[in-house]
Amino acid sequence: MKVFLSGSIRGGRQMLPTYQFICRFLRNKGHEVLSWHVADSEVEGKESLLTETQIYERDMSFLQDSECMIAEVSMPSIGVGYEVCSAIKKGIPVMCVHMPDSNVSAMLLGNTYADISVRLWG
């Protein structure tokens, strides 16, 4: 399955080990992680070579090609929220995961859209 992994980049990289774990887990199960750059420890430096438009177009292309999204939402991020909303609009199933004691947005926890789920993990 083609998976879009969403996680905070500019909003903070504290969850990087978690993104790397999720990416490895999905790949080991035979899935293709289109947005693997989220789990790349060098992503900020690499993205500094791209324009804002190039980053947007790359990510929206990955999202368009994906069959589902997994969003790590423990770290508040406008970009992750934008990607989740874009996936919902495109009819792509979304699973949001978060660590215990995370302050997850009510916009996710209260969402009644059938193709979104929010799960505690960790």
Question: Binding site, residues?
Answer: 4-10, 19, 37, 83, 105-107
Alpha-carbon distances of 50 from 17, 53, 59, rounded to whole Å:
24, 8, 12
**Residues tagged in the binding site annotation for substrate:** 4-10, 19, 37, 83, 105-107
The answer to whether residues 11 and 79 touch, using CB atoms and an 8 Å cutoff, is: yes
Which H helix or E strand runs over 98? strand 94-98
Sheet holding 32-33, edge to edge: 32-33, 2-6, 68-72, 94-98, 116-120
